[in-house]
Amino acid sequence: MYKKAFIFLTLIISLNSYALDELSSIPDTHQKMLDSILKTFKLTGASKKVQTAIYNKYKWALEQSDWQSYWIGNADLSSSKFKDDSVQIYDLIIVSKKSTNNISFTYFPKANQIFYTSKQFIEGKSSVALDAFKEMKAKETTKIIKETDNYGFTQKKGFMEFAVYHIKSPNALVSYMDYGVIDTK
């Protein structure tokens, strides 16, 4: 009886501690990406909170198993005069069957902040995009910036989150964009 209770209690404690540290359970390929960003920004000693915030800005783009990624930074352009600048850029491209994604991080060490942009581009049938636009438009949190016969441009109220529904029947391109800041201290 005591042995079963002990095993059960140990299992619950280990599951709870596992759930508290999301980073300990991420796949190796995701971790390598995070390590690369942290190394580029010289933030290898960053807190778990900062690491998790960075990871959460690109993990959604890795949901499908068929993704491929590539990144570009300050030193990747041969004519770059800012290779060794303290402000560092990490521009991440993630492509999958579902979408093309671009997540950019720009680290400002003097401000202890990372500015990020996240963009997702999804192509599909115009009828599906129109339905998605109508659904987005109906939400109370959506602000319509512009609506024409060919596109709808929306913003989530109170946020720097945008969506563009570009219709060219029978096809469409839906673009989602998000901007923000991650504090590193």
- Closest C-alpha to 177, from 134, 116, 108, 114: 116
| The dihedral sign for the CA sequence 40, 46, 48, 52 | negative
pLDDT of residue 6: 47
Report how far residue 69's alpha carbon sits from residue 120's, in angstroms, rounded to the nearest whole number: 14
Domain count, the chain: 1
Structure tokens at 67: 């993704």
CA atoms within 13 A on the CB side of 1: 0
Pick 162 or 4 by higher pLDDT: 162
- pLDDT of 3 reads 53
Number of Cβ within 10 Å of residue 50's Cβ equals 19
177: left (phi over 0), alpha (psi -120 to 50) or beta: beta
pLDDT at 19 over 80: no
Predicted confidence at residue 169, as pLDDT, reads 93
pLDDT, tens only, 67-105: 999 999 998 988 889 988 999 999 999 999 999 999 999
As to burial, measured by CB atoms within 10 angstroms (0-12 exposed, 13-18 middle, 19+ buried), residue 169 is: exposed
Rg of the chain (C-alpha set): 21
Q: Where in the sequence is the domain holding 13, given as residue range(s)?
A: 2-183
Q: What is the mean pLDDT of the chain?
A: 90
Q: What are the φ and ψ backbone dihedral angles of 183, each rounded to 5 degrees?
A: -80, 135
Q: Is the pLDDT of residue 16 over 60?
A: no
